[in-house]
Structure 1
Amino acid sequence: MDRSILMDKVNAQLSEQLVGKRLIENVYNKNGLLIMKSQTILNRIHVQNFLAHRIDTAELNIETIGPFGKPSSLQLSQEMDEAVAVVRDVFNEVLNSKKLPLTEIRKSVIPLILKTVEQENVFEVFAALQEKDDYLYRHSIAVGTISALIGRQLGYNEIDLLQLTMAAVLHDIGKLYIAPELLSKPDKLTTAEFEIMKRHTILGYELVKKTIGTSSRQALVVLQHHERVDGTGYPLGLIGDQIDHFSRIVAVADVFHAMTSRREYRNPFPFYEVLMQMEQNAFGILDPTIIRILINKIMQTMIGFEVILTDGRQGTIVLINPYDGTHPLIHIDDNFEDLSKNNSLQIQQILL
């Protein structure tokens, strides 16, 4: 085989294995020269650099990260950690006292979410919340943020936005009553286990409904957030307009964040696959209008962001196609790549 063809094949294989991963340790060549720093998110140029320096890539200490890269705002990351701690304390109080104290969530978590949405800083939030453990608490805040973003795009007034955001933060609270080993089980749930898992909607509904200071609509969101508009959801198998509009928003937000998050049993999906699977109803038929609002807003927010493509190249989003929002125009070096005209190329990761 021609040497250049062989090198292209090796390069392609390494790109597939390494692009989008993050270095945990510095990388040095055989002479002890630092060629790449810890925390670098790898792209195709980095892979070529490894080959040029004859670095044994099998020895690299790397980790898989989510589709939003690493948060660049230390302040926001710290604020999110504090919000997660509040949610954790509130949820722990539920387990200890069987009561749901809402004051701290209202005082610190909800204002932070709404401020973030107002500043359109959602990617930083996603990055901060995908970085660490405590999935249930981080997921609650992320779903609250995404739901608030959608509500704002729909023109909700302040009262409805506050009510929606609180409902979204509480949507999975019933999982406190589900065994942790079931929540993190790496294999597919058995029929009996899935029946137990489905009860988190009812258990959460009962808790929120009897809590002073919550509304019946917020309790309804907790009950309905796994319903699907074609009747394939649970616990009641509701159809279309039988599902509250808040619940349909939270269902979309729930699926989006779950797919972009690392779990004990799987790595996060690449960004393009999240969008594709949501559009193709891979997780049941969600409200298509709400999906479109979320995707359009996310893509518009991405103008000016650097991204890594599925072929390992790195570029900047410069234009969103109004007829095909998930396939923007990318500026790469001195050229432009129109993803709407190249179905084989997608956005792998967003760099912050």
Structure 2
Amino acid sequence: MADIKVLNGLSSLKRQDSFTYQHCLDVTILSVALANKLLYTKKKLIELAKGCLLHDIGRILINKSLYTQPRKLSSQEYELIKKHPQIGYLVLKDITQVGIIASHIAYQHHEQQDGLGYPRGLKGNNLLPTPDKSTEEGYIMPLAEIVSIANIYDALVSPRAYRSAYTPDQAFFIMKRLAGTQLNIEAFRVFSDIIPIYPIGTTVYILNGKYKNFIGVVSKVNQENLTRPTIRLLYNSSKRRITPLEIDLVKNQLINVAGIII
């Protein structure tokens, strides 16, 4: 029965906005990966997944055009957008099969560590959101802190009507600045350890050294150091095709790269 309720919610999201539907799926994958690393039980992971899949359900009752405007929203429009966590909570809270955890994930996924988030201005204490971490009154629950990180990462690496997608390394740089104030800093550190800054297939260019300005793609993620992948160089500094050349950044510590979107 719980699966039916969640699937019904997902179906409503897909009919309303396929972008939000995909966003919820991506956030679920990232959140479960992070919570699994933090040793949450299978039961808690299921509750987390339900909350992630439905965390933006409140959007279906907000004018879709507000999310597709290729311009900065007015203050009034932005205030309407900010109502979607509370709307989502009200939609989910009385559905027994969905559960209280899932409804509060929808309610709290835009709260911040410094208390400047919305809709209730809950605070965080930047402690690692492990299964044994309790939720104090006025504070964000641990699972919502996890979802907040996954939610922001996926939002950054996805295109918006008003901007292009950030590359994964750009997203991590932005999130690093938010860690401690907006994001739980300890959860972000774990997230950085399990999600590659340069996933396989990412297009990158060489910033320095012998191959400066060469362009290639990530061909292998080095599990011992996710920030130093193996790069397959495909173009020289004049953007001419070359015989593919593999460079392991773990073995070439002086070479630095940056992601680009083609």
- TM-score under structure 2 normalisation? 0.74
CA 1:291 to 1:340, structure 2 compared with 1: closer, same or farther past 3 Å?
farther
What secondary structure is seen at the aligned counterpart in 1 of 2:203?
strand
In structure 2, the partner of 1:346 is 258
Gaps of 5+ in 2: 1-6, 126-138, 206-212, 234-244
Distance 1:164 1:288 in 2: 20
In structure 1, the partner of 2:128 is none
Distance 2:246 2:71 in 1: 46
Counterpart contact for 2:229–2:248, Cα < 8 Å: no
How many residue pairs get matched? 223
After superposition, the CA RMSD in angstroms is 3.0
Aligned AA (1:142)? D
CA 1:139 to 1:306, structure 2 compared with 1: closer, same or farther past 3 Å?
closer
Instruction: Note if 1:313 corresponds to 2:215.
Output: yes
Residue 319 of structure 1 and its aligned partner are, at CA, apart by: 3.5
Identity of aligned residues (%): 26
Q: Which structure has greater helix proportion? A: 1
What secondary structure is seen at the aligned counterpart in 2 of 1:346?
strand
Distance 1:87 1:219 in 2: 12
CA 1:282 to 1:180, structure 2 compared with 1: closer, same or farther past 3 Å?
farther
Counterpart contact for 1:271–1:348, Cα < 8 Å: no
Aligned AA (1:319)? N
Please point out which of 217, 221, 227 is paired with 1:326.
227
Q: Deviations over 1:108-137 (max 9, x none)?
A: xxxxxxxxxxxxxxxxxxxxxxxxx81011
Instruction: Note if 1:89 corresponds to 2:1.
Output: no
Give the number of the structure whose alpha-carbon radius of gyration is greater. Answer: 1
Instruction: Note if 1:174 corresponds to 2:32.
Output: no
Instruction: Note if 1:204 corresponds to 2:116.
Output: no
Distance 1:318 1:219 in 2: 36
CA 1:204 to 1:313, structure 2 compared with 1: closer, same or farther past 3 Å?
same
Q: Deviations over 1:192-226 (max 9, x none)?
A: 11111111111110111011312222211111100
- TM-score under structure 1 normalisation? 0.56
Residue 334 of structure 1 and its aligned partner are, at CA, apart by: 5.7
Instruction: Note if 1:298 corresponds to 2:195.
Output: yes
Gaps of 5+ in 1: 1-84, 96-132
Distance 1:284 1:134 in 2: 31
Please point out which of 9, 24, 36 is paired with 1:140.
24
Distance 1:347 1:219 in 2: 36
Please point out which of 43, 47, 56 is paired with 1:163.
47
